[in-house]
Amino acid sequence: METQKQRWSEREVKLLEELRKKNFSIPYISQKLGRSEKSIFSKSIRSGLNEKYPVSKGRPLKSILNKHLSTYITKTDFVYECELFTRYNQHLKIFEKSALIMGDCHIPYINLDMYNKMKLVVKNRKPKCLILSGDITNQDAFSLYISEGGRGSFRKERYITDMFFEDMLELFDKIYIIMGNHDMRFFKVLMGEIEAPQFFKIFTDQLNKNIFVSGNYRYCEFNKTWRITHPKNYSKISTRVAESIAVIHQNKNIATGHGHHQGFRFEPSGKWMCVDVGCMCDANKLEYTAVVDSTNPKWNYGFMIIEDEFPEFFNRYMTNWSKYK
């Protein structure tokens, strides 16, 4: 701590001003500058940095300190320290006339037939942006499921994913990425010590240029009426999860990935659309779906386009693919 009556240097005053403007707490600044909390509080008032406790004309500074110092430290700093914790309201908000939405690619196990069909649609319809609704990568190397062939190579997966982004940037001006549960496997291994944008820098150098990641969020907003999400929940019944989310929010149409379904319905009020986007992963390339029977429904390969807020679906059975040759 400082000696009695030690004068403040210009460097200290400048640092105090910077820290107070950034709303750092008095105990933190005290440790940073090596001065007592009372000294920090007093100098803040004298310098006009503390708008909450300004110096009143004709009122001794000492009386202000005696009355407010303990309150400031025990209450104001408590509130401040609590406010330091993140408020999760920084998800992507996308504003585009049209977008192609696809998800559950699980690279490198993408369904190449549907992938090539998607490229034909893009060249014909020319949507400007792509929204990837989660599970872009499979991340076998970090899976708890051990296949008969052993764990996949993350190095190989990274190489193929990089080529995927190069391919997509030839078709789209912008790419928006929502995190999926498979994409989060890497984060779990690192115990949260890396953020989504840092992770996707492994795959591409176009991040924040043409490719944008919705942080660790597993949803984004598209224009004013759509919420595109890779939810935590799963249902065997198509659109059930989307409907439940629509009922909760009551202010957006909902388009979901994760379930590997494609479908459409309205939630009970009849106002909001509930959509399953479709799946771009080839079930025949995954051991856990190809070598053992399951009561889960077959996957619906497909994707969708939203243009002027209206959705259009593309899949194997409901699309006239002869139009896109």
98 and 39 in a common domain: no
Report pTM: 0.75
Q: Would the pLDDT of 110 be above 90?
A: yes
Residue carrying structure tokens 């595109």: 228
Tell which of 83, 116, 131 closes a domain. 83
Asked if 77 and 103 sit in the same domain, the reply is: no
Domain finish residue from 83, 112, 132: 83
**Burial of 205 per CB tally in 10 Å (0-12, 13-18, 19+):** exposed
Q: 143 and 285 share a domain?
A: yes
Residues 99, 50 share a domain: no
Residue 260 has pLDDT above 50, yes or no: yes
Residue 230: DSSP 8-state: -
Shared domain check, 36 and 78: yes
58: left (phi over 0), alpha (psi -120 to 50) or beta: left
The first and second tokens of residue 167, run together, are 């391919």
Residues 40 and 171 in one domain: no
Q: What is the DSSP string of 142-206?
A: G-S---TT-PPPHHHHHHHHHHHHHHHHTT-SEEEEE--TTTTHHHHHTTT-S-HHHHHTTT-S-
Q: Residues 73, 97: one domain?
A: no
Domain that holds residue 69: 10-83
Contact between residue 178 and residue 214 where contact means Cβ atoms under 8 Å apart: yes
pLDDT in tens, 282-296: 999 988 888 889 999
**Close Cβ partners of 1 (under 8 Å, ≥ 6 residues apart):** 34, 35, 36
Cα dihedral 8→14→15→16 (10° resolution): 70
Residue 5: inside a domain? no
CB 111 within 8 A of CB 299: no
Peptide bond into 311 cis (omega under 30): no
What's the structural domain count of the chain? 2
Among 29, 56, 83, identify where a domain stops.
83
Q: What is the mean pLDDT of residues 237-266?
A: 96
Per-residue confidence at 35, pLDDT binned at 50, 70, 90?
Answer: confident
